[in-house]
Chains A and B, each alone.
Chain A
């Protein structure tokens, strides 16, 4: 099974960086690591993905461990709008994405 494990919840102060960890110890060499987030009453929203190298986009950065058994989603400056459930998922380009329960991020003003 394509399992990932994440903390159930995390808190961050507004305008501080947030590091959301994910373990995927059974990942295969061709599995991509994807992150999605879900705001209340909305469908999930793509955040970022990567294979081996660290990745940056306008929303976040993704740091992938050298052995690829873990990764960290980095929000550089948390805002109140970043309060959401963050899902770390894995899958190949030609397969489905499996979601776990995710990490519920609270942002404190």
Chain B
């Protein structure tokens, strides 16, 4: 399967611990997006990359959050000193750049539970 993959699918951690999630986009896609989704809400934009450059970060992305895409391929999202409010589904999506469409392909998400 050549879709977007995310690892791990589930993560349980204690408050105060650091966690890191990985996203592998579709191979020819230049754009990569991170979203957070809580129950009953739509995905909230966190940040996105054009190749290895991080082009925009949401106000939701506090200084405890950092995202990288070092070689313009896979990306990692790290949360330091996790809080219970960080419990959510973290979604990654990728897309081709430009043109008249920017259809995003989403991964299955990583569900984070902070206890």
Contacts and interface: CB of A to CB of B under 8 A. Distances in A.
- Closest 6 A-B residue pairs measured CB to CB? A43-B106, A99-B42, A46-B103, A99-B43, A44-B106, A96-B45
Contact of B56 (A96, A99, A101): A96
A46 B100 CA distance: 15
- For chain A, the bracket of interface size reads 20 to 34
Given A43-B91, A43-B108, A43-B109, A51 B100 contact: yes
Contact of B101 (A36, A42, A93): A93
A3 B9 CA distance: 30
B92 to A, nearest CB: 8
6 contacts: A91-B102, A94-B102, A99-B35, A99-B42, A99-B43, A101-B42
B62 interface: no
A42 B103 CA distance: 17
A45 B35 CA distance: 14
B98 interface: yes
A32 B42 CA distance: 18
Interface string B84-115: 00000001010001111111111111000000
B106 A93 contact: no
Given A93-B100, A96-B56, 11 more contacts: A32-B100, A34-B102, A34-B103, A36-B104, A43-B107, A43-B108, A99-B35, A99-B42, A99-B44, A101-B40, A101-B42
